[in-house]
């Protein structure tokens, strides 16, 4: 039941975020959407992803977006509102996507999916936490992709620093 509440809250606040003309209200609606998704992660026992969602998106990205909106939302003491252009086309495309996805879901044989088959319920006992499991997997089975990703991030950081520097000759 709690899953449906979080899912409905995420869908409603996401729709409001897209449809509102006030950018500040859209930012706060994004906050509700991200918190709802973090709640869904908690219900799925993905505690590491839920905490990461809260720290990175809600704590960092959303605060940056809200500060940007609040600092740039007033031009000459008038509020800036976004314009709803192509609303009819957007609603038409969204409706077609919803109809297509609904048709695909209804025609799919969902009962044959392996993760929906009845399984034997076991008591967790001394099973490791998800954070510890992720750490062990990253440092054993996935060490090469982890190192490649870290090198790509390092190269991107160096490129961003190079682009941001002032290249005037002294």
Could you tell me the residue ranges of all domains in the chain? Answer: 1-74, 128-165
Burial of 113: CB neighbours in 10 Å, binned 0-12, 13-18, 19+:
exposed
pTM of the predicted model as reported, rounded to 2 decimal places: 0.60
Burial of 30: CB neighbours in 10 Å, binned 0-12, 13-18, 19+:
buried
Q: Enter the tokens of residue 72.
A: 């740039």
Question: E-strand spans in 44-133?
Answer: 74-75, 78-79
- Any idea which architecture 1-74 has in CATH? Up-down Bundle (1.20)
Residue-wise pLDDT for 53-112, tens only, equals: 999 888 888 888 888 777 776 666 666 566 777 888 888 998 999 999 999 988 888 777
- The Cα 66–Cα 58 span in angstroms is 10
């Amino acid at each position: 039941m709690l899953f449906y509440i979080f899912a409905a809250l995420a869908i409603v606040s996401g729709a409001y975020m897209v449809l509102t003309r006030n950018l500040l209200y859209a930012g706060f609606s994004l906050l509700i959407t991200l918190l709802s998704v973090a709640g869904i992660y908690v219900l799925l026992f993905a505690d590491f992803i839920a905490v990461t969602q809260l720290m990175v998106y809600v704590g960092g990205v959303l605060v940056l977006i809200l500060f940007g909106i609040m600092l740039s939302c007033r031009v000459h003491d008038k509020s800036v509102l976004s314009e709803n252009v192509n609303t009819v086309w957007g609603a038409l495309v969204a409706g077609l996507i919803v109809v297509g996805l609904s048709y695909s879901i209804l025609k799919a044989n969902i009962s044959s999916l392996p993760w929906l088959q009845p399984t034997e319920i076991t008591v967790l006992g001394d099973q490791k936490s998800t954070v510890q499991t992720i750490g062990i997997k990253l440092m054993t089975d996935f060490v090469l992709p982890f190192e490649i990703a870290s090198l790509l991030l390092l190269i991107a950081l160096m490129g961003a620093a190079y682009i941001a520097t002032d290249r005037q000759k002294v």
